[in-house]
Amino acid sequence: MAIYHLSVRIVKRSQGQSAVAVAARRSGERLFDRRLDLHVRPEGGGAPAVAEILLPKDAPAWLGAREELWNTAEATEKRLDAQLAREVELALPIELTNTEAIELAREFVQREFVTRGMVADLTIHLGGGHNPYANAMLTLREVTAQGFGRKVREWNQSGLLREWREQWAALANAYLARAGHAVRIDHGRKRDQAGQEMPAAVHLGKAAKAMQQRGLKHARLQRLEEQGGQPAKDRA
């Protein structure tokens, strides 16, 4: 059933990463990395159902070519520790049809990222033995007629990440409701697949554990059972 997942990570040259290589892996497309002077082959795992580039308004059309886009992004960054791209991964509700899931991912990426001025390299995986998910690889600089301008520091604000998390839950829930599903996702708390809050694991402490081993019930354990929770597992 539907789960909430939105994660954000940065592609960093300091960690030996290449934006071109990451784009090849995500899209399933063989790309030439000019900086490294080699062809990057995608890893196994199957090609995505959708692999497309969404451009902001007035962006030059040549940025819509994946190889050109990420090679230009790489060439723009001169530092050895440069940040190259932002990746946002989204779990798509399994209750939605493939068409609905694709429409949901596209609308969210267009509304939250592309309209702000980012180029989005969107890939969507459907089925294939795993839950459906989308990945948006995003540029970090403003778009100009020549390519890229300044880095937009405002896109790094923690408040914007919170907004993205909230908006993803709201939009996914709107799609679920429109499709006639009662299940909802929640960005604020860990929840089970039916949308109800999961009881937290509780550490009982040495005294409670010793009583439990002797067949006795500590008051803390009794309260936990009444609330439907489970004791936390001990670390090895």
Q: What is the mean pLDDT of the chain?
A: 84
Q: Which residues pair with 7 in a beta bridge?
A: 89
| Same domain (yes/no): 43, 134 | yes
Rounded to an integer, the average pLDDT of 38-49 is 86
Query: Cα separation of 22 and 87, whole Å?
Result: 10
| Same domain (yes/no): 152, 112 | yes
pLDDT at 33 > cutoff 90: yes
Contact 193, 183 (CB under 8 A): yes
| Same domain (yes/no): 171, 224 | no
- What count of Cα atoms within 13 Å lies in the side-chain half-sphere of residue 233? 2
- The pTM of the full predicted model, rounded to 2 decimals, is 0.79
Q: Tell me what pLDDT residue 42 has.
A: 85
Q: Tell me what pLDDT residue 89 has.
A: 98
Give domain status of residue 191, yes or no: no
Q: Tell me what pLDDT residue 232 has.
A: 44
Per-residue model confidence as pLDDT tens digits over 110-142: 999 999 999 999 999 998 667 999 999 999 999
Q: Tell me what pLDDT residue 215 has.
A: 47
Query: Cα separation of 224 and 201, whole Å?
Result: 9
Per-residue model confidence as pLDDT tens digits over 58-87: 999 999 999 999 999 999 999 999 999 999
Give domain status of residue 186, yes or no: no
| Same domain (yes/no): 44, 122 | yes
Domain count, the chain: 2
| Same domain (yes/no): 103, 39 | yes
Contact 90, 50 (CB under 8 A): no
Residue 95: which CATH number?
Answer: 3.30.930.30
Give domain status of residue 120, yes or no: yes
Domain that holds residue 208: 199-236
Rounded to an integer, the average pLDDT of 21-46 is 92
Give domain status of residue 228, yes or no: yes
Closest CA to 90 of 99, 78, 102, 82: 102
Give domain status of residue 188, yes or no: no
| Same domain (yes/no): 172, 210 | no
> Quick one: three-class SS letters along the chain?
CCCCCEEEEEEEHHHCCCHHHHHHHHHCCCEEECCCCEEECCCCCCCCCEEEEECCCCCCHHHHCHHHHHHHHHHHCCCCCCEEEEEEEEECCCCCCHHHHHHHHHHHHHHHCHHHCCCEEEEEECCCCCCCEEEEEECCEEEECCEEEEECHHHHCHHHHHHHHHHHHHHHHHHHHHCCCCCCCCCCCCECCCCCECCCCECCCHHHHHHHHCCCCCHHHHHHHHCCCCECCCCC
Q: Tell me what pLDDT residue 129 has.
A: 66
- The sign of the dihedral angle between the CA atoms of 145, 116, 171, 166 is positive
Q: How confident is the model at residue 189 (pLDDT cuts 50, 70, 90)?
A: low
| Same domain (yes/no): 23, 119 | yes
For 67, other C-beta atoms within 10 Å of its C-beta total 17
Per-residue model confidence as pLDDT tens digits over 82-118: 999 999 999 999 999 999 999 999 999 999 999 999 9
Ramachandran quadrant class, 58 (left: phi over 0; alpha: psi -120 to 50; beta: rest): left
Query: Cα separation of 15 and 36, whole Å?
Result: 15
pLDDT at 46 > cutoff 90: no
Higher pLDDT, 195 or 103: 103
Per-residue model confidence as pLDDT tens digits over 201-228: 334 454 545 544 544 444 444 444 433 3
